[in-house]
Amino acid sequence: MKVDDLLKDLEGLLSEAKDLPVVNKAMIDKNQVADLIADIRKNMPVEIRQAKAIVADRTKIISDAKREADSIIEIAEKKRKEMLDEDELVKQSKIEAQRITDEAELTAQKVKNAANNYINEILAKTDDLLDTSLMEYRTKKQKIENLMKTSNNKRPVSNKIADNPQD
């Protein structure tokens, strides 16, 4: 289950909580809340693994682009060397080889830049998603803690005495 779904379940639990009259508080099941928080903690690493996979994809894309560029440059160099054997074509082959090399380097740089931009966008979106999820988690957790504190503090005095006879 995704963290967003678990947070929605937590919100649902809060919205379904039974209201306590007069004190403007609600009663929730501590065990259900604890289970949801545990599930959220278990699922956070999944999203982190997804972010790592994106970084690995970035490395692969850059590596593939470099291999492709190296291959293009190698082909251009081979073609240039073959053309050097003939006297009249020497000048033309140098010009063509340089053009191919320049084009290959430009293509490789464009592919590398595009890959970096794509990966940076994905990482930024993942970062935003993780930040949002973490912020929602912390907000819900704080609300639950506040709710639990206030509900514990608002118990009638007679129950506190009965619960803690040593006080």
Mean pLDDT of 6-14: 86
- pLDDT, residue 57, reads 85
- pLDDT, residue 88, reads 67
- pLDDT, residue 166, reads 55
- 25-27 and 18-20: which strand pairing? antiparallel
- For residues 95 and 76, the answer to whether their CB atoms sit within 8 Å is no
Lowest-pLDDT choice from 98-107, 120-129, 149-158: 149-158
- pLDDT, residue 89, reads 64
Task: Give the pLDDT band of residue 163 (cuts 50, 70, 90).
Answer: low
Long-range contacts of 106-115, Cβ-Cβ distance < 8 Å, separation of 24 or more: 107/69, 107/72, 108/65, 108/66, 108/68, 108/69, 108/72, 111/65, 111/68, 111/69, 112/62, 112/65, 112/66, 115/58, 115/61, 115/62, 115/65
Mean pLDDT of 127-149: 93
Task: Give the pLDDT band of residue 152 (cuts 50, 70, 90).
Answer: confident
- pLDDT, residue 40, reads 83
pLDDT in tens, 40-93: 888 777 777 788 888 888 888 888 888 998 999 999 888 877 766 666 667 777
- pLDDT, residue 83, reads 67
- pLDDT, residue 102, reads 93
Give the helix ranges, DSSP H, for the chain: 3-15, 30-84, 90-153, 157-163
The β-bridge partners of 25 are: 20
Nearest to 151 by CA among 4, 26, 16, 18: 26
Predicted confidence (pLDDT) at residue 142 exceeds the cutoff of 90: yes
- For residues 104 and 76, the answer to whether their CB atoms sit within 8 Å is yes
- pLDDT, residue 85, reads 67
| SS3 label, residue 72 | helix
Amino acid identity, position 45: P
Give me the residue spans of the domains in the chain.
3-141
